[in-house]
Amino acid sequence: MMTTVGYAQSNSFLLSMRSQSIEKTKAPRAKWVASSSSSSSSSSSSSSSHLRASSVSPSSTEAFHRVDYGQAIANDGMNEESSKKKKKRVFFLDVSPLCYEGNKPSSQAFGHWLSLFFSQVSLTDPVIAVLDGEEGNKLRRELLPSYKAHRKSPNPGKYSKRPHQFVEEVLRKCNVPVVRLQGHEADDVVATLMEQAVQRGYRAVIASPDKDFKQLISENVQIVIPLADLRRWSFYTLKHYHAQYNCDPQSDLSFRCIMGDKVDGVPGIQHVVPAFGRKTAMKLVRKHGSLESLLSAAAVRTVGRPYAQEALTKYADYLRRNYQVLALKRDVKVQIEEEWLVERTTSNDSEVLSSFFSTLHG
């Protein structure tokens, strides 16, 4: 069942959203940790461990640069489209990972990233928030019991409401529709809605620290990542992906199927064939383009050294299972609505977030 949260209007406007965002950015990082219960869930910080800053502007409205494996990259992620007619953007906010500070559930972290997202990133562009549904990972766990087995739901802390209800309330008051489908993970819902938006002529931007979304990157699909160490969001585009990996995003999924995903509890080929390392995997994926093409080739001829050849033939089903688990689905039964694609009304942002932080510190 889908939960779509509507829009609420308010008569008062307390603070400037941009001023509040800057103040929150200056706040000591230790103040963001809000909950005592721990979790091994993937966090914003883990997804940004390879991103290093080369310069950071003191103003939240100025562009900044970061260095990605030695290459300076502009924050706006728009350079490769400068000669093209700009398409309207729609943002897909992957909410669950933002509710953690490190591995600890944190309401403060959610409020912090949301305030920066509204003031620095999405502005008045339409935003669609997506949350994991009840038993969303059931089907993947049936395929692989270790899949996200270590993760726990965010703890609402001192709030009596269930975590998703509390988050939905804040987003609703900020005029953001919320989609939550029982039996489906947020990643699959985002992938499905993203494709529908692109087909309608929009440029989709996925706001999430989750590296799973790299498989979706294209000329019309970007990612914007929360960088915990810089306390900022940073765009990541097709140009950036090519600079980092020297291959197409479609290869990202195949590579992770071979190497596994520790964060998601997906074991890689090295668990059964220790000699099969990253260099071998990347070389084979680049040459053959996809996991299925590689496995099909290995079934009829030699594609690599003996240990690699044996691994690809002996453990083909093992790798195909990983693909079923890690591939994002684009056939979820959900339809994007026209009202979700209109310019977002921002008049409530300052009041809602000011009240939110006041409640946390009260």
Cα–Cα distance measured from residue 179 to residue 239, given in angstroms and rounded to the nearest whole number: 30
As a whole number, mean pLDDT of residues 170-192 equals 96
Cα–Cα distance measured from residue 243 to residue 72, given in angstroms and rounded to the nearest whole number: 10
As a whole number, mean pLDDT of residues 103-130 equals 94
Half-sphere exposure of 265 (CA within 13 A, CB side): 14
Q: What is the pLDDT of residue 40?
A: 35
Range list of β-strands (E), 167-208: 178-180, 203-207
Instruction: Identify which of 276, 241, 271, 260 has the alpha carbon closest to the alpha carbon of residue 323.
Output: 260
Cα–Cα distance measured from residue 318 to residue 324, given in angstroms and rounded to the nearest whole number: 10
pLDDT at 12 over 80: no
pLDDT tens-digit map of 38-78: 333 334 433 333 333 333 333 333 333 333 333 333 444 44
Q: What is the pLDDT of residue 101?
A: 86
pLDDT confidence bin for 29, thresholds 50/70/90: very low
Instruction: Specify which residues 179 forms β-bridges with.
Output: 130
Q: What is the pLDDT of residue 360?
A: 81
Instruction: Specify which residues 261 forms β-bridges with.
Output: 266
Cα–Cα distance measured from residue 66 to residue 53, given in angstroms and rounded to the nearest whole number: 4
pLDDT tens-digit map of 240-298: 999 988 888 888 899 999 999 998 999 999 999 999 999 999 999 999 989 999 999 99
Would you say 120 and 233 are in contact if contact means Cβ atoms under 8 Å apart?
yes
Higher pLDDT, 6 or 210: 210
Sign for the CA dihedral angle at 182, 360, 118, 76 comes to: negative
Residue ranges and CATH numbers for the domains of the chain are 89-244+332-360 (3.40.50.1010), 249-326 (1.10.150.20)
Whole-angstrom CA distances from 162 to 75, 154, 239, 317, 318 are: 35, 9, 40, 39, 37
Instruction: Identify which of 237, 140, 251, 250 has the alpha carbon closest to the alpha carbon of residue 187.
Output: 140
Q: What is the pLDDT of residue 280?
A: 94
As a whole number, mean pLDDT of residues 73-86 equals 50
Q: What is the pLDDT of residue 229?
A: 87
